[in-house]
Amino acid sequence: MSWHSLFSLAGALVGSLVAIRCARYLVKDERVYPFAIAVVLGGILSARLAHVADNWSVHYLSDPMLILAFWNGGMATMGAPIGASVAGLLAARALRLPVGFMFDISVVGIALGEAIGRIGDLISGEHHAVACGGLPWCVSYVNPATLGQLGPVHPIGLYDGLLMAGIFVVLYAYWRRVRGQPPESRVYWAYLLLFGTGRYLQSFVRDEPLILWGIQEGQLLGLVYALAGAAMLIALRRRSAVRRASVHP
């Protein structure tokens, strides 16, 4: 296994345990376990597909069977929210779980899991970055077993890990503040807003293929997530204000 896969697995386990612990606030039975498994598997599948799409001509066009070798690394976390959300929605409905609440606790665990997973990226130099001149934290990957550039380059794994750790702290505090209060799913949309904005800005120091309108896949998805998160938070806030006005005219 690659360092990327090893720490991705560790992140998935730790993140799932944290999300399950949060879920016990409302869901006391064992339905949280198949829900957590569905979210993790959905996220992994869509992250893999996003990576393949981003690197199709470079790695997979000549040998499509490499798509199945996910244990060797190669996942684009920008694609993970799509599959995790779809799988989570289907699982929550099938298991008769409160959808908004389950989405809220899921992204708390996902943020922590992604922060842990980036440790593997930092070790192996999984992601290429632009040149980093004069900054004391620039890195060079000189070990031939790593996948990174010789550098010095920006430590993208470190940037992303710090970003996700910060998002986890913010989301957990926000969830503890709003849990049990309608409307649900505010934490989920806040995750998309923070994650999308952070990754969009971070992409300016990433060295990745340009796919559309001169921007990277991560920047495009980041914009979509951020705009969706902001729009839904505004809509939920207005809905909540209307509800309070109807109760206390």
> For 4-16, how does the pLDDT look when each residue is reduced to its tens digit (9 = 90+)?
778 888 988 999 9
Residue 248 lies in a domain: no
148 and 126 Cβ atoms separated by less than 8 Å: yes
Task: Tell me the residue range of the domain where 8 lies.
Answer: 3-238
Q: Is 211 helix (H, G, I), strand (E, B) or coil?
A: strand
Is the pLDDT at 188 greater than 90? The verdict is yes
Is the pLDDT at 141 greater than 90? The verdict is no
- Give the separation between CA 201 and CA 194, rounded to whole angstroms: 11
Is the pLDDT at 51 greater than 90? The verdict is no
Kindly tell me the sign of the dihedral angle through the C-alpha atoms of 151, 157, 159, 162: negative
Average pLDDT on 149-158 reads 81
- Give the separation between CA 244 and CA 249, rounded to whole angstroms: 8
Q: What is the pLDDT of residues 19-33, one digit of tens each?
A: 999 999 999 899 999
pTM of the model: 0.86
As for how many domains the chain has, the answer is 1
Residue 244 lies in a domain: no
Q: What is the pLDDT of residues 220-239, one digit of tens each?
A: 888 999 999 999 999 998 88
Q: What is the per-residue pLDDT for 223?
A: 92
Residue 12 lies in a domain: yes
193 pLDDT tier (thresholds 50, 70, 90):
very high
Residue 191 lies in a domain: yes
Tell which wins on pLDDT, 112 or 66.
Answer: 112
Here the contacts of 160-163 (C-beta below 8 Å, separation 24 or greater) are 160/77, 160/114, 160/118, 160/121, 160/127, 160/199, 160/202, 161/115, 161/116, 161/118, 161/119, 161/121, 161/122, 162/115, 163/198, 163/199, 163/202
